[in-house]
Structure 1
Amino acid sequence: NMNIASNMFNMMKTIYMMMLMLLIYIFYTIMMRQMMKTKEYTMLIKSMDYINKNKYMINLNMTNKKDMNNNIGPLNMDILSIIYGSMLGDGHAEKRKGGKGTRIVFQQEYCNINYLYYLHSLLANLGYCNTNLPLIKTRLGKKGKIRQYLKFNTWTYDSFNMIYSEWYIKNTSGKGNIKVIPKSLDNYLTPLALAIWIMDDGCKLGKGLKFATNCFSYKDVQYLTYLLHNKYNIKSTIHKGNKENTQFVIYVWKESMPILTKIVSPYIIPSMKYKLGNYL
């Protein structure tokens, strides 16, 4: 009976905490919506839009895919470099349900707002997404913490189906598909793609740099280290990414950091220079 009472108490405590977290989130959401209606908030957003549009200039003003004609012909190297670099990190492709095309989705935490606006400006100027700036959104994180993030996606294109088919395979141990490293990355790991990979998933570690490749298999990570060395003479090693030895990360040697920095420096935005330490 004591065990039953203890279990019931713990269950009620868990339910209470979950309800409290939900109420906090609802209250925060309502407050944010009310604030968005105020004149001061509207002026603040307009001011931020002006600053960011001028910081990362967008030369087009397109809010409808029908106004663009970039759905005809092959994809150029710029758009493929941006997408492939992002896919190595947090970017992902979505095959549209009921449709024939694919879109690419980009998302960053609020602390990386400058980087996301930079990505958006690249894609907007190439005509692959709405030129309106992505808005700040909120979500409920761990332990009930409210997190802010930004997210945008490209328009849907049939030509992006090739990207989806190369980057995803069927998950044999579960539902859906999983991301893999395509062999074609050899063609598209350009200096721009490498810079985006660093800004997306790179991290300064000691006198070197770590790529958080945790979501890829050991074989895929091996291929990435091969590409770094074969294409750019960048030396790196594979390290364990977790205690269970089921995830893997790449560490770029300090001896190769000057080479890496020289290759990517033209594309690294100011807020991301810290990832290259004193080499930049």
Structure 2
Amino acid sequence: MVFIQWIPRDFTWNIQPWQCLDKDKVTKFGLIIILLKNSKVILILTLWDWGANLLIVNINLSLNKNCKFFFNRFFSTIINFSNDYKKRYEVTNEQKESLVGVLLADAHLEKGKSSRNARLSIDHSYPSQEAYVNYLYNLFKPLVATPPAVIERKKDKRTGLAYKSIYFKTLSFPCLNEFHALFYNNNIKVIPSNLEDLLTPIGLAHFIMGDGYYDTVKQTIYLCTENYSLSEVNLLISVLNKNFDLKATANKRDLKNGVIGWRIRFSKSSLDKLRALVSNYTIPEMNHKLGLDKK
């Protein structure tokens, strides 16, 4: 027995799997074919982007015909983007500016041994930064196959406690390779030499949300940049001044085993200007990093 269901071009999807696609930019048209054979349901689904004239999704599932099991499997299935979609996808301006900020902070770009293309990895503490991870997930949905997941990390040797984090990864996309080339040298993260051309208020907002904090004692904002060299930190400070007229200094930090790190400290005289610059791009749950209360 075969069921064929045509999905019209103006159909509005209201189910979870399609939320990973940009509803405002992708006009959807698909064909669902369900075959019942030997007590199993076989689902074949295609999704087409009319604007770009390319195949986005192609799913072929073999499922038990039990309805509850069918939908559970359907909703939890990883959506595999077609190679054509990956090749032709270009990051939006907002994604591009945000990428600069999250990469300056804790995000990573990875290249597997068998992959020529990079993928973005986002990982933050749970539950304190869950809202921010979900915000980034929604921003990068067109590149992501599965929603954020919570995992328990190994016990901290200092505290004996096991902490949780929430993370997601994009699939590997050619459009991410240029950012990998900018931010990595022999797989070590670096500050791009042309950062002045890359860093915008949106990027700075993400830099603060990812790696910033407000010191209630010293009443100013810091950026945790200990993983960068002093010359890179000075480059960051220079760009903050040139691009946004913000004053900041490098503060020395004594790390483990005699290693010295450097944090960026914003001048109190620049706080109002900094807040005005980025507050439109930070989420309420991260306002405490600007020394502001949730609204």
Q: What TM-score does the superposition give when structure 1 sets the normalisation length?
A: 0.71
Cα separation, 2, equivalents of 1:163 and 1:97: 18
Alignment counterpart, residue 220 of structure 1, candidates 219, 232, 236: 232
Instruction: Tell me if structure 1 keeps the 8 A contact 2:20–2:144.
Output: no
Instruction: Tell me if structure 1 keeps the 8 A contact 2:86–2:173.
Output: no
Residue matched to 2:278: 264
Residue matched to 2:143: 128
Cα separation, 1, equivalents of 2:119 and 2:21: 22
Q: Judging changes above 3 Å, is the alpha-carbon distance between structure 1 residues 65 and 87 closer, same or farther for their aligned structure 2 residues?
A: same
Cα separation, 2, equivalents of 1:96 and 1:149: 22
Instruction: Tell me if structure 2 keeps the 8 A contact 1:257–1:279.
Output: no
Are positions 1:240 and 2:252 aligned together? yes
By how many angstroms is 1:73 displaced?
Answer: 6.3
Unaligned runs of 5+ in 2: 1-15, 24-56, 58-78
Are positions 1:142 and 2:161 aligned together? no
By how many angstroms is 1:86 displaced?
Answer: 0.7
Alignment counterpart, residue 194 of structure 1, candidates 197, 204, 215: 204
Residue matched to 1:151: 167
SS in 2 for 1:241: strand
Instruction: Tell me if structure 1 keeps the 8 A contact 2:143–2:173.
Output: no
CA RMSD of the aligned region, Å? 2.4
Cα separation, 2, equivalents of 1:191 and 1:108: 22
| Number of residue-to-residue matches in the alignment | 216
Unaligned runs of 5+ in 1: 1-52, 171-176
Instruction: Tell me if structure 1 keeps the 8 A contact 2:122–2:168.
Output: yes
Alignment counterpart, residue 182 of structure 1, candidates 192, 197, 212: 192
Residue matched to 1:112: 129
Instruction: Tell me if structure 2 keeps the 8 A contact 1:103–1:157.
Output: yes
Cα separation, 2, equivalents of 1:94 and 1:279: 35
By how many angstroms is 1:242 displaced?
Answer: 1.6
Residue matched to 1:207: 219
Residue matched to 1:81: 97
| Percent of matched pairs sharing the same residue | 27
Cα separation, 1, equivalents of 2:293 and 2:271: 7
SS in 2 for 1:199: helix
By how many angstroms is 1:195 displaced?
Answer: 0.5
By how many angstroms is 1:72 displaced?
Answer: 1.9
SS in 1 for 2:129: helix
Instruction: Tell me if structure 2 keeps the 8 A contact 1:65–1:129.
Output: no
Q: Identify the structure with the greater helix proportion.
A: 1
Deviations 1:158-207 (A, max 9, x none): 2222211221113xxxxxx3211002322221111111100000010222
Of residues 221-230 and 65-74 in structure 1, the stretch that sits farther from structure 2 once superposed is 65-74
Q: Judging changes above 3 Å, is the alpha-carbon distance between structure 1 residues 277 and 95 closer, same or farther for their aligned structure 2 residues?
A: same
Aligned partner of 2:116: which letter?
K
Aligned partner of 2:137: which letter?
H
5 Å matches for 1:34-53?
none
SS in 2 for 1:150: strand
Cα separation, 2, equivalents of 1:193 and 1:103: 19
Of residues 240-249 and 97-106 in structure 1, the stretch that sits farther from structure 2 once superposed is 240-249
Q: Judging changes above 3 Å, is the alpha-carbon distance between structure 1 residues 68 and 187 closer, same or farther for their aligned structure 2 residues?
A: farther
Q: Judging changes above 3 Å, is the alpha-carbon distance between structure 1 residues 73 and 252 closer, same or farther for their aligned structure 2 residues?
A: same
Larger RCO (CA within 8 A; separation ≥ 6): 1
Cα separation, 2, equivalents of 1:68 and 1:122: 21
Aligned partner of 1:222: which letter?
N
Cα separation, 1, equivalents of 2:195 and 2:137: 22
5 Å matches for 1:28-39?
none
Q: What TM-score does the superposition give when structure 2 sets the normalisation length?
A: 0.67
Aligned partner of 1:128: which letter?
L
Are positions 1:229 and 2:207 aligned together? no
